[in-house]
Amino acid sequence: MNIIITAPDLDSDKNVSGISSVVNFIIDKNPQHHYIHFEIGKKDDEKRGVKWFLKIVKNYFKWFYLMATVRDKLVHFNLPLDKRAVIRDCPLLILTKLFGTKLVLHIHGGSYLENDEIPSWAKILIDYTFKGKTPKIVLGVSEKEFLEDNFKCKNVFVLPNSLPLEDAKKFNREKPEKHHIKILYLGRIRTDKGLAFTLSAFQTLKEVHNLDFTFFMAGKGRDEKLYTNKFKELLGDNFIFKGVVFGEKKVELLRECNTYILASFFEGLPMALLESMSFGLVPITTGVGSIKYVVKNKVNGLIVNKKSPKDIVDAILTLNNDAELMNTLSKNARNTIFTDFTPEKFIKDLNLIYNYE
């Protein structure tokens, strides 16, 4: 079957995107279908302006052409549930329905799922495009309940993200002779990832607790310069910025670090979180989106409240002061991924949804 699948640019060297990571994984692990990638979304270094707007308009014509010419097809439409996605994507979804094309909606978090007030115009568009028997994929139970309660959606399937595990299988994290906290942030560099609160926490750790730790940051984004400068000013040589990493460079970084931090205000189920846990990094994260179904506090990671530098400080001090606890959380984090997030299970469940009538 031909599957038209939407995502931002799939080149990880040009674009840091959780949706792109998921789509790359799906295309690689599901060879029984013929995937046609349709690019939707802004590149990290792309400015919003006339050129960007014309690109969106052009996309509508390209979409019409695909709907009219590709036979034996299904559309796998990926989107976050937020203001920009609703404005950009609903015309494409309406067009898909008008052509009578089989459609699967795949929701990847978004601010509207975190009790963000939804404007009436957005509710109307979401209600129209989400109604009917169209299968909807969400990342966790709370998102399923949200769609069912707020939009009376039917056929909502919970399918948590998965990831390739070949590299993680080869790695065995051994207990180091010297206990030293090495914290990793991997992903888009934006304020809504809680980076200002992470910075504030690090300042307290350094100036009040005199804690010796290293912070690694990898990725890119609109606030990259702002935060790389601030972390460098605060931590000096204990801050290491890696830029965009993929392949062996990403594997090396995941082996090097032992703690993963993500203080986001809203998320779906970040691939970077799953990747880090598969290598035994202990996650310190807010319990937003579907993260709370993966990370269990003091079982396989530490949950902190949103916008709480104090919680971040306490979590890092807990790991620094209790090497045995950190070792236990590390093992449990890794086991969680290898038990519940295997590629084989994900692809099997995805294909069942594709075939849902």
What percentage of the chain reaches a pLDDT higher than 90? 87
Least confident of 58-62, 107-111, 175-179: 175-179
Shared domain for 290 and 348, answered yes or no, is no
On whether both 348 and 258 belong to a single domain, the answer is no
Separation of alpha carbons 40 and 89, rounded Å: 8
Helix (H) or strand (E) holding 279: none
pLDDT digits (tens, 9 = 90+) for 122-132: 999 999 999 99
Smallest Cα–Cα separation from 14: which of 34, 48, 41, 49?
41
172 and 156 inside one domain: no
Q: Residue 333: helix, strand or coil by DSSP?
A: helix
* Cβ atoms of residues 264 and 189 within 8 Å: no
* Residues 94 and 170 grouped into a single domain: no
Q: What is the tens place of the pLDDT at every residue in 47-73?
A: 777 887 888 899 999 999 999 999 999
pLDDT of residue 115: 67
Do 240 and 309 have their domain in common?
yes
Mean pLDDT for the stretch of residues 94-114: 94
pLDDT digits (tens, 9 = 90+) for 201-214: 999 999 999 999 99
As a residue count, the chain comes to: 357
Give the confidence band of 357 by pLDDT, cuts at 50, 70, 90. low
Residue 304 and residue 251 share a domain: yes
pLDDT value of position 45:
67
Query: What is the structure's pLDDT at 4?
Result: 98
- What is the reported pLDDT for 116? 64
Q: What is the pLDDT of residue 177?
A: 67
For residue 142, CA distances in Å to 115, 139, 348 come to 11, 9, 23
- 131 and 220 inside one domain: no
What average pLDDT does the segment 320-343 reach?
97
Per-residue buried b or exposed e for 268-283, using 16+ beta carbons within 10 Å of the residue's own CB: bbbbbbbbbbbbbbbb
Q: List beta partners, residue 297.
A: 301
Asked if 46 and 186 sit in the same domain, the reply is no
Evaluate whether 112 touches 118 at the Cβ level (below 8 Å): yes
Question: Do residues 188 and 158 share a domain?
Answer: no
3-state DSSP assignment of residue 151 = helix
Whether residue 34 has pLDDT greater than 90: yes
Identify whether residues 158 and 174 lie together within a single domain.
no
Sheet (strand 136-138) strand order: 34-39, 2-7, 73-79, 102-107, 136-138, 156-158
Residue 162 contacts residue 341 (beta carbons within 8 Å):
yes
Tokens 């809680």: give the residue: 194
Tell me how far apart the alpha carbons of residues 174 and 336 are, in angstroms, rounded to a whole number.
18
Pairwise pLDDT comparison (116 vs 326), residue with the higher score: 326
The CATH number that applies at residue 60 is 3.40.50.2000
**Exposed/middle/buried for residue 208 (C-beta within 10 Å: 0-12, 13-18, 19+):** exposed
pLDDT of residue 42: 75
The values of phi and psi at residue 39, to 5°, are -80, 125
Write the single-letter amino acid at 199. Answer: L
CA dihedral for 146, 148, 154, 158, sign (positive or negative): positive
The number of distinct structural domains making up the chain is: 2
Residues 170 and 313 in one domain: yes
Helix, strand or coil for residue 36?
Answer: strand
Give the whole-angstrom CA distance, residue 278 versus residue 55.
Answer: 38
Q: Are residues 26 and 100 in the same domain?
A: yes
Question: Across residues 24-46, what is the average pLDDT?
Answer: 90
- For residue 312, the enclosing domain spans 166-340
Using DSSP, state whether 298 is helix, strand or coil: coil
Whether the per-residue pLDDT at 75 is higher than 70: the answer is yes
